[in-house]
Each structure stands twice: as structure tokens, then as C-alpha cells.
Copies of this chain bind each other. A is one copy, B any other.
């Protein structure tokens, strides 16, 4: 069940523990904000040294208040925090915001202090926001709570914003009006000792006041829980996130191919992509998109109409629209004829429509209406360059009214007229999103369209596969604790137990054995050097393929041995692996790595010895459902080869998918597998000729 945080966002009474009359204190600033924004409930300033604070009756402690209290915002000095919490418990206050800083963020002593605080909170059965945060906002009429201490006027709207950085939240609050961004609810989560982004996702999923969820994150509280929760939210309402501190992720150096292909941000990208969270790179992008979701509807299709009084900006818009996956189709003849009736003859009518600078407010409005009602158009971008001799605000109003009538996705761009944006926004209730640059509008519609496709996409199914668990169990039992590579023979058995098609392999400790094996399985064969320390076989010249006869086989083994001697590592040689040589097919890599926080990920892409050069590999968190497995396959270049190019017959993608799902099951059943490389995994158009030619497994017990 979702947490209910209504007590935080819709409190009927708030105690401000640490309220103050003193200039330049947080306690005064927060009181002022609550009062000025017009909070609709009761405010109880707590301060043992004051009777009144900013004309509101003050109390020496929460316990001195007679009424019941829904929310306590605490900003006393660190040493008084615990006693304040005790007081709140005595007064039976369930919801606590701790603004006071000096906890986890200042090191050892603070960490201890935060643990103590958190223990109190959970012992008392309270919920807490913070510590080290900036407060909370709800702009809803009838609530009107600005429980933060920062400057700036909360602008109402449908956006929920969680900020892990107080300062960034403060910066954003300051420009809301200028950028036409409207918040429903805002929360600075600080050190998120208790309530974190995942809790907020759950809460806002079921809160109708919040239409769009935005996040500024520097870390995940619990990466896997975040993903699982986000999956349940994103089909209902869009979630857009910045994940900062990209390079700080710092992944463990990996010895596997799969691990080496992952960048510091791979896991974050996988989490967002798989849970449908839209990741953006900057604060501007975050709110450009959020306000679009908030102030207009999703486009039905990807065909966008552009109307302008200025050629250059319209061309830039076409470029960005196409870049964002949208089309800019020619308008119907009927539409063009209607436009010709009202515009000057030199105007452009096909799309973009250029009404030219002489266009009045009436013409602009009428032309917008005509364009938006064209059947070929799913969304509109109406651009207004600085008009020479007309009033921007007046034209803006006509545009807004026209697009609102259309009932289609639309945006308005006031090029370089930033000062008009808040005025127009205020003048037209229910206005569409207003931008000051055209590229941002086109980009936002492109992302909205992608979100629409995501929302409509069928849900995937988790396919249960029953592997021979006992076999794997028995093998793993042989290994002791710590991190170990599994012997190749055991790897073969493990893969067979889950019907992953590892090529037949035989081990030979001398030339005679090699010859016997090759005779048995038939030429051509492949030989590979074997030895626990010889992990990257190709690098030491330890793989020779397409050996066609006895003579070549002996030559090959001698060549490998000579090569090892030259490198002075011939003492690492334990023998040779002999396999039939598989001709043709497409080399892929299928692998697994484990992230310390997010757990296992599967990787798929172009394989073979060039895997690190190609870098054609994508990741998903495990387990994957059938849809996710299919998306993974389709997201890499290798897919285009598997589908069949230049005369090669296509590979059955369902078969590829089946192998990914079996691997997913193997990892679910045996999470002690830390790393796994199937490389190359050669797929042929004949499923029974598709083979894993080499494999490695590392476990951690």
C-alpha cells in the first residue's frame, strides 16, 4: 500500500518549532512565507522566549498547544532536536519535517546523530522529511502552504517536485513565474533519512493534484525499490528526473567483458529506461518538459503544425521537431485555402505557416485556429517573434484562445519576450505552455509523443522457466566462499542445465588426446588454450579456428605453446579445449554483471573479439520480462544484423529472446552468480546451429 503523506501536504495545523522574530533567521523567513502565501490552517510558532511571532501567538513548546497538530516543522539547533522530537511524540504529532542541518552531510559525528534521530522517529512510529532540508509547499487553493524558508513565490500548477538539493530547489522556486512553471507540491528531501524519492513516487502516484512528477536526484535511496515503484507510476503519470553526480557512481572495476562495457551511468540509464522514467540532463529541460505535460495534453500522433511570423525560428523548429522524432507534414489544400483568405498573399501556407510580421492579433488567432483544425496535425507550435508594430500580449491572448479551442497538444513560443511570459500566463487561465525559445517547444512535444507511445505499450510478462536447479546447486556447492571463477567444465554443465546452447567442448591435456577428440567430433575444429589464469585467451594468441586436419592441429598447438613461452607464461597452460568449428552466423555477447546497489543487469549486443571496440551493447536490470528482453535485442545494432543483411538469412528473434529469458531465470535462481559472459554467442538462422562458443562465470559466495 502506498504511504499516505496527506499529513505533510494537507495539514490543518502546523507547529513551527524554532520560529523566530529575529531578522535574517530561517525561523523568521519560514514564518513569513507561511503567512504571506496565505496558509489556510492554523500556525503555532514554538519559541520559549516569545509571546508573539509576526503577530501570531507563540507557545513555549508543542505540548503547550491545546489543539491537535498535523505537522511539525523543526528548525531548532541540533542539540535540541531530540528533545523536540520527544515533545512532538508526547503531543502525538505523526509528521515531522527537520530543517536543521549538521547530520549525515558533515561526517562521522553527524552520521551517529542522524541514526539516533531516525531511531526516535521509528520508535515513535512517526514519519520524517529531512533532516537538512528546505521545507515543503502545497499551492492548492484551500491549503496554500509555503513551508520553506526561501525567497520566491510558489506558482500554482500540476507539477510535483522532489529535490535532493535544497539550494537547487531554492533556485528553481525563484524563477517559476518567469518560466511559466507551476507547482502543485514541492518537497526538499534533504538527507532522506526516512522519506525518500521512492516514498514520494508512491504517494504522488495516487494524488490527483499532482499531474507530473519531477525529481532532482543525486543518489538513490534504494535503486531497485525505486525502479519497481516507478514502474507502477509511469503508466499513470509522467515522471521526469535529473540524476546528477554522474561520474561519482564509481563502479567496481570489472574483469568481465560485460562489466567492462558498462559505464558509470549504465545502471542509472537502465533503471530509468526500464521503469519508464524520462531522464533529462538539465534543470531547463526538466521543467520545459514538465510544464508541457502539465499545461497541454499528449499529442495523438507525431505530426506537428508550426505557425510563425518569422522564418528563421520556424526553420529551427522544423529541425528540432524532426530531430525529436516528429513530422512536419504539408497542410491540406482546404486548410491552405482558408489561410489564404485571411493572410497577406506573400505569407507561407504549407507548414510552417508564416503569417509574416504584418499579422494582427485577430489574424494570428484565426490562422492558428485554421491550422490546428487540420486533420493532418496532431500538435501545434505557435511562434511569435518580436512583432514590429503590434502588441505581443494581445496577439498572445488570441493564440492561446485559439489553441485551447483546438483540443490538441500545443505550445506557444514568445521569442525573446521573456517579460511577456508571466503576463500572458496570468491573462489566460488554462493557457498552453509558453516558451521563450522554439527548440525547447519542439523537443518537449517530441518527448511527450514518446511518452504517449510508452503509455500505450503492452505490459511485459515474466516467463517462468524451469531449469535443472539441482545440477547447478550441486556444482556451486563444490566452490568455497569468496569470489571464484567456475571451471569451464562446470560452466558447460550449468549452461546445459538451463538449455543455454553451449558448444560441445572437450578437454585435452596432451597432443594425443587432442587428436583423438578431433577425430571423434570431426574436423574442422577450434582449439583454445586452457588454464585458470589464462582468462583473455585471444590476447595471448590462444585461440585458433577452422583447423582442418591432423597436421594443422599439431601445428596450431605448437604455435600456441611457442607464443606462451615467448610471453613467459607457458607454465599457466593446463591443456586445450577442443570444439567443433561453427561457420557463419552472427557473433553476439550475452552477459550479466552485478551492481552493488541495483543488483544484476543483463547485457546484449555485438560480440566476438571486437566487442570492446564496437561498444554495441545495452543493459537491462534483471529479471527481465518478455517485452524487456525484446526491447533489449532491438535496441542494439546487432539486431539489424540478426534480422538478416546482405544476403544472410534472418535469425529467429524469438529464439534469441528465449535465451535471454532462460539466462534471466538462471540468475534469479542463483543470485550468487556475480559475472557471466557468453561471448561469442553465435546465432544462426537455424536455431540448432546457434551456439555459445565461449563462456565464463564468476560467483561470489
At the interface, yes or no: A6 with Cβ under 8 Å from chain B?
no
Q: Which residues 597-619 in A have Cβ within 8 Å of B in the complex?
A: 609-610, 612-615
Contact with B along A318-361 (1 / 0, CB 8 A): 11101100000000000000000000001000000000010000
Give min CB distance, A442 to chain B, whole Å: 11
- Find out whether the CB atom of A388 lies under 8 angstroms from the CB atom of B283: no
The chain B residue with its CB closest to the CB of A316 is B244
**Contact for A168 among B245, B313, B536, CB less than 8 A:** B313
Contacts of A318 in B (CB 8 A): 245, 247
Contacts of A437 in B (CB 8 A): 282-284
Of A79-87, A508-516, A640-648, the segment with at least 4 beta carbons within 8 Å of chain B is A640-648
With A167-B309, A322-B247, A386-B151 in contact, is A242–B416 under 8 Å at CB? no
At the interface, yes or no: A538 with Cβ under 8 Å from chain B?
yes
A309, B612: Cα distance in complex, Å: 41
A283, B435: Cα distance in complex, Å: 14
At the interface, yes or no: A507 with Cβ under 8 Å from chain B?
no
At the interface, yes or no: A532 with Cβ under 8 Å from chain B?
no
Give min CB distance, A463 to chain B, whole Å: 29
Of A170-178, A221-229, A362-370, A685-693, the segment with at least 4 beta carbons within 8 Å of chain B is A170-178
- Find out whether the CB atom of B612 lies under 8 angstroms from the CB atom of A539: no
- Find out whether the CB atom of A315 lies under 8 angstroms from the CB atom of B218: yes
At the interface, yes or no: A389 with Cβ under 8 Å from chain B?
yes
Contacts of A418 in B (CB 8 A): 175, 178, 418
At the interface, yes or no: A155 with Cβ under 8 Å from chain B?
no
A536, B647: Cα distance in complex, Å: 10
A555, B232: Cα distance in complex, Å: 59
At the interface, yes or no: A590 with Cβ under 8 Å from chain B?
no
Contacts of A439 in B (CB 8 A): 281-284
Contacts of A610 in B (CB 8 A): 641, 645-646
What is the oligomeric copy number?
Answer: 2
Q: Which residues 135-155 in A have Cβ within 8 Å of B in the complex?
A: 149-152
Contacts of A640 in B (CB 8 A): 613
A683, B640: Cα distance in complex, Å: 26
At the interface, yes or no: A102 with Cβ under 8 Å from chain B?
yes
- Find out whether the CB atom of A246 lies under 8 angstroms from the CB atom of B319: yes
- Find out whether the CB atom of A102 lies under 8 angstroms from the CB atom of B315: no
A357, B101: Cα distance in complex, Å: 12
At the interface, yes or no: A266 with Cβ under 8 Å from chain B?
no
- Find out whether the CB atom of B164 lies under 8 angstroms from the CB atom of A246: no
- Find out whether the CB atom of B316 lies under 8 angstroms from the CB atom of A283: yes
The chain B residue with its CB closest to the CB of A282 is B439
Give min CB distance, A170 to chain B, whole Å: 5
Contacts of A538 in B (CB 8 A): 646-647
A418, B538: Cα distance in complex, Å: 58
A319, B283: Cα distance in complex, Å: 13
Give min CB distance, A424 to chain B, whole Å: 16
- Find out whether the CB atom of B386 lies under 8 angstroms from the CB atom of A216: no
With A246-B319, A312-B218 in contact, is A385–B171 under 8 Å at CB? yes
Which of A's residues lie within 8 Å of B, judged by CB? Answer: 24, 26, 29, 101-102, 106, 149-152, 163-172, 174-175, 178, 216, 218, 242, 244-247, 281-284, 309-313, 315-316, 318-320, 322-323, 346, 357, 385-386, 388-389, 415-418, 437, 439, 536, 538-541, 609-610, 612-615, 637, 640-641, 645-647
Q: A164-B312, A244-B319 are in contact. List 16 more A-B contacts (CB 8 A).
A: A102-B346, A106-B346, A149-B388, A150-B388, A166-B311, A167-B311, A170-B385, A171-B385, A172-B416, A174-B386, A246-B319, A246-B323, A281-B320, A282-B320, A418-B418, A539-B647
The 10 closest A-B pairs by CB, nearest first: A165-B312, A167-B310, A168-B312, A171-B416, A171-B415, A174-B416, A609-B646, A175-B416, A24-B389, A538-B646
